[in-house]
Amino acid sequence: MYLSKHGRRLVAAATIAASAIMLPAVALAASGGPAAQPAAIATCRTVQLTDWLGVPGNQTAGSSFYQLEISNISHQACTLYGFPGVSAWRAGKRLGSPAARSYGDPENLLTLAPHSTVHVILQVVDVGVYSPASCHYEQAFALKVYAPGDYGWHLVPLTFEACAKHGPIFLRVTPAQHGTGIPGYSH
């Protein structure tokens, strides 16, 4: 294809203009600037986690408080945000209402490095404060724990008196917080 002198100048000018536009993007990509964005860290899934209690719990008049620990047992970092789901469990069935949320601490997006732990304060109310008719006392043998943002669950052994009827609130949880909880010292 033959281009006139004028046509060759236009092609050369267009090539230079295109190079000038592309150069900053190439330079940013090569320098690790905006073109090289890190991948987002995925939400923690039940298969990446294990749940356990820091014992002994702290007893006060009318309640016991436990450090419910959530540990990342995988080899990948993941994130948690907010409250776990917790309920009393006995012989394949939930007892009473799930745990209510205590909003004293802020909800934060937490990144769990592999083999790190976050904690939640779990309050177990003495169900003796409720009448037998409104509560129907039963022995729970575990907590069913759902990680924040996931639908999978683990059972955590804990024996305590629970309300079998839906309604009375006898469990409360805080949002997940960084670090392993130390009974009597963490909040």
pLDDT reported for residue 59: 85
Structure token digits, residue 20: 């000038």
Quick one: 74 and 110 in the same domain?
yes
- The number of folded domains in the chain is 2
pLDDT of residue 38: 63
184: in domain:
no
Q: Verify that 80 and 28 share a domain, yes or no.
A: no
| The pair of three-digit structure tokens given for residue 181, joined into one six-digit string | 């909880």
Distance (Å, whole) CA 159 – CA 143:
9
* 15: Cβ contacts below 8 Å, ≥ 6 apart: none
With contact defined as beta carbons under 8 Å apart, do 55 and 69 qualify? Answer: no
Apex CA 83: angle with CA 69 and CA 163, to 5°?
85
Please check whether residue 145 is in contact with residue 49, taking contact to mean a CB–CB distance below 8 angstroms: no
Q: What's the rounded Cα separation, in Å, for the pair 66 and 69? A: 9
- Per-residue pLDDT at 14: 44
Do 137 and 166 lie in a common domain? yes
For residues 173 and 136, membership in a common domain is answered with yes
Whether residues 54 and 117 share a domain: the answer is yes
Burial string for 84-102 (b: 16+ CB within 10 Å, else e) reads bbbbbbeeeeebbbbbeee
Question: Hey, which bits of the chain come out as E strands?
Answer: 49-60, 63-72, 78-81, 85-90, 93-95, 100-101, 109-112, 117-125, 137-146, 153-163, 171-173, 177-178
Reported pTM: 0.75
Q: pLDDT tens across 97-131, in order? A: 999 999 988 999 999 999 999 999 999 999 998 99
Residue 19 structure tokens = 């190079």
The predicted-structure confidence for 26-56, as pLDDT tens digits, reads as follows: 443 444 455 555 678 999 999 999 999 988 7
What digits encode the pLDDT tens for the residues 56-91?
788 888 999 999 999 999 999 999 999 999 999 999
For residue 17, the enclosing domain spans: 1-37
DSSP 43: B
pLDDT in tens, 1-23: 444 554 444 444 444 444 444 33
**Domain-located, residue 187:** no
Q: Are residues 28 and 79 both part of a single domain?
A: no
Looking at residue 60, its pLDDT comes to 87
Helix residue spans in the chain (DSSP H): 5-31, 132-135
Reading the block at residue 127, the tokens are 């169900």
